[in-house]
Structure 1
Amino acid sequence: MSQAVRVLVVDDEALVRHALRAFIADDDRVTLVGEAADGSEVVDVCKQTSPDVVLMDIKMPEVSGVEATRRVREWQPSCRVVALTTFATEWRALEVLRAGACGYLVKNSTPDEIIDAIVAAHAGDRVVSPEVQERFVRSAIEAGDGRSPEAPALSERERQVIELIAKGLSNTEIADALHYAEATVKADIRHINQLWGVENRLQIVLRATQLGIISL
């Protein structure tokens, strides 16, 4: 088994930290290395614990999660940050993603979804809750110029991968659904990125919606 992902939990609510501590303790893929109750503490705790992934609340009393994310990324660019918040609005997500986060989850996510997002973030994926992803897509459609771009050629399997990405499935879940190796799914996603000139899963969904390949 590969080494467990080292996780730092940042949230000003003790009850939330307690719940996350329990989720993490129940899954061998992750291990809790520290906690912080405010963004002002994050970098100091990071220096003490060397996390792979920081699970970051956004709204905190002294230093917000957005600013704390910037500080973490300045301290160690290889450290991944996943925002976990009550806000489901796209502008909130954009704010923290632009600050350097690689994921955005709402707090009604299941324990499995949270752990899967941590593992995916550590592997280099960008993870966004499906309801927030849908808001991004709808905003992009409303802001579009009305043109219908020509769709590049995709294989049937690549189209299936895109449809499952749009549903919020992880690479592992996509591989299970299509009965392929996870490495094959990753190769398909890399090819889609290259073909469309995009960089992450959210951009794949936006582009696929613009091309009419999927609809939300």
Structure 2
Amino acid sequence: MTEAVRVLVVDDEALVRHALRAFLTSDDRVTLVGEASDGSEVIEACKRSSPDVILMDIKMRDIGGVEATRRVLEWNPRCRVVALTTFTTEWRALEVLRAGACGYLVKNSTPDEIIAAVVAAHAGDRVVSPEIQSRFVRAAIDSGDVGKTHAPVLSDREHQVIELIAQGLSNAEIAQELHYAEGTVKADIRRINHAWGVENRLQIVLRATEFGIISI
């Protein structure tokens, strides 16, 4: 059996921590190893609990999630940080992603979506809420650059994978949808990354929009 992903929750709202605790402790895929109520507590909490993934609020009273993310990754670059926030503006997402976070979820995400994102982040994926992806894509469209460049040739299956990535599906969900092994989906994504010179799922969506392959 796969070992459960160790999760640390960082949020200054006690009610949010309580809600996250309720479903993180009821799913075998994850184990809640600690909580912190401010960014200033993150490093000590990490030392105590050795998390694989941190669910990080952005706006906190003392040290916010962006700075806390930088500190965590300076201390342990292997730790994965997923922002979990009420903010839905693309500039907020870019700020924390540039600080090193591997994911950005809005707090109206379902428990299943949050847990799936934690598992995906631990596996090395980037995870971004579909509504945030849509905002990035809209910004790309509004810039007027969409369709001005030509996409390298991809297979029909790779095009299907791109469309499902744009819908926010995880690798496992894409594999189920297309009736392929998850390893096949991962290999397709590696080929897309190489062909397009990108590094993660969000960049795939942005590039696909740029090439006029998808529209959101």
Bin the TM-score by the shorter chain.
over 0.9
Distance 1:45 1:198 in 2: 34
Report which stretch shifted further, 135-144 or 151-160: 135-144
Stretches of structure 2 lacking an aligned partner (at least 5 in a row): none
Which amino acid is the alignment partner of residue 113 of structure 2? Answer: E
Which whole-Å deviations, capped at 9, do the CAs of 1:25-65 have from their partners, x for residues lacking one?
A: 12111000000000000011101110000000001000001
Q: Which residue of 1 aligns with 2:41?
A: 41
What is the letter of the counterpart of residue 11 of structure 2? D
1:189 aligns with 2:184: no
**Preserved contact between residue 10 and residue 39 of structure 2 (Cα < 8 Å):** yes
**What is the letter of the counterpart of residue 156 of structure 1?**
D
Q: Provide the residue aligned with 1:207 in structure 2.
A: 207
What residue number does 1:71 align with? 71
Q: Taking structure 1 as reference, are residues 179 and 145 closer, same or farther at Cα in structure 2, changes over 3 Å only?
A: closer
Structure 1 distance, partners of 2:73, 2:146, is 37
Aligned length: 216
Q: Distance in 1 between matches of 2:23 and 2:205?
A: 29
SS in 2 for 1:9: strand
Pick closer, same or farther for the CA change 1:146–1:96 going to 2, 3 Å.
closer
**Amino acid across the alignment from 1:26:** S
Q: Tell me the C-alpha RMSD between the 2 structures.
A: 0.9
C-alpha distance in 2 between matches for 1:147 and 1:32: 45
Cα gap change, 1:215/1:7 in structure 2, threshold over 3 Å: closer, same or farther?
same
| Residue type at the aligned position of 1:41 | E
- In 2, the alpha carbon distance for the partners of 1:134 and 1:145 equals 16
Return 5+ residue gaps in structure 1 as ranges.
Answer: none
| CA positional deviation for 1:144 | 3.9
What's 2:103 paired with?
103
* 1:139 paired residue number: 139
Q: Is the 8 A contact 2:141 2:210 kept in 1?
A: yes
Distance in 1 (CA, whole Å) between partners of 2:61 and 2:100 is 21
Quote the residue 1:167 is aligned against.
167
State the shift of 1:70 in Å.
0.5
- Aligned partners of 1:170, 1:36: CA distance in 2, in Å? 28
SS in 2 for 1:54: strand
> Counterpart in 2 of 1:150?
150
Q: What residue number does 1:82 align with?
A: 82
Matched, 1:20 2:20: yes
What is the rounded CA distance, in whole Å, between the counterparts of 1:147 and 1:3 in structure 2? 44
CA distance in 1, matches of 2:148, 2:63: 43
Tell me how far 1:141 sits from its aligned partner: 2.1
1:107 and 1:144 map into 2 onto residues whose CA distance is: 31
- 1:19: Cα distance to partner? 0.7
**Percent of aligned positions that are identical:** 79
Q: Which moved more, 1:143-152 or 1:175-184?
A: 143-152
Say if 1:93 and 1:147 are closer, same or farther in 2 by CA, change over 3 A: same
**Counterpart residue number, 1:6:** 6
State the SS of the aligned residue for 1:151.
coil
1:104 deviates by 0.1
For 2:212 and 2:50, how far apart are their aligned partners in 1? 43
Equivalent-residue separation in structure 2 for 1:146 and 1:66 (angstroms): 30
CA distance in 2, matches of 1:5, 1:146: 39
Give the Cα–Cα distance (whole angstroms) in 2 for the partners of residues 147 and 38 of structure 1: 44
